[in-house]
Amino acid sequence: TAPMSTKRIGILAAMPEELEQLKKVVTNQTSFPRGEAFTFTTGELHSKPVVFAAANVGMVFAGSAATTMIGEFGACAIIFTGVAGGLREGQQIGDVVVGQTVVNYEMDCRSFTYPWDPSYKLHLGELPFVNWRFFEADPSLLKLALEAPVPEGLRVTAGLVASGSIFLDTAKKQGMYESVWKPLGEPLCAEME
């Protein structure tokens, strides 16, 4: 097993292909298979200890992979990287969106009423009982991401990312504008982890 005594930066992507470039630059790699779904790899990236893995598609896999990274591999921060579908006019393939906040666009408890407070109306994306709707990025990691050097011509924006379990083509994304994206505050992109 991997030693927990080392604090590492965790890096997750949904698809193994999204980690190919990372594999080329991480040194001292050691792989740790976990079940049939995951292989976690430890190593060093620019002299910093890291652990990375392909989480597979979906929030359940991503949550399981993140939990394993924290519990078994000492991840003290986790960065998720990968492909998302743009939701704004003018976005281009290759644009980078840094998640400042994330919302689960499928969490819909709007028809539920608290018996102790029937006047409170839950919103799309809001978790009942804890009243969480938007999950904020760590401010120091967000600052680092936005200050990182990028190739010339690459557009980087920060904002709201919508996550769910539906593979969205262009027509589906457009059809969800009034019922989903607008009530959520018009996210920059949608993804599945």
Nearest to 145 by CA among 134, 161, 158: 158
Supply the pLDDT for residue 6: 85
Burial class (CB in 10 A: 0-12, 13-18, 19+), 31: exposed
Q: What is the structure's pLDDT at 49?
A: 97
**pLDDT (0 to 100) of residue 10:** 97
The residue type of 164 is G
Give the CA diameter of the chain. Answer: 57
Residue 89 confidence (pLDDT) = 92
Cα dihedral angle (181, 186, 192, 193), rounded to 10 degrees?
Answer: -140
Could you read off the pLDDT tens digit of each residue along the chain, which spans 193 residues?
566 678 999 999 999 999 999 999 999 999 999 999 999 999 999 999 999 999 999 999 999 999 999 999 999 999 999 999 999 999 999 999 999 999 999 999 999 999 999 999 999 999 999 989 999 999 999 999 999 999 999 999 999 999 999 999 999 999 999 999 999 999 999 999 9
Return d(Cα 3, Cα 74) in angstroms, integer: 8
Q: What is the pLDDT of residue 50?
A: 97
Which residue in this structure is represented by tokens 């470039």? Answer: 21
Structure-block tokens of residue 39: 């292989």
What pLDDT score was predicted for residue 4? Answer: 67
**For position 5, what pLDDT does the model report?**
73
CB-based contact 39:106 (threshold 8 Å): no
**pTM for the full predicted model:** 0.90
Neighbours of 70 (CB within 10 A): 17
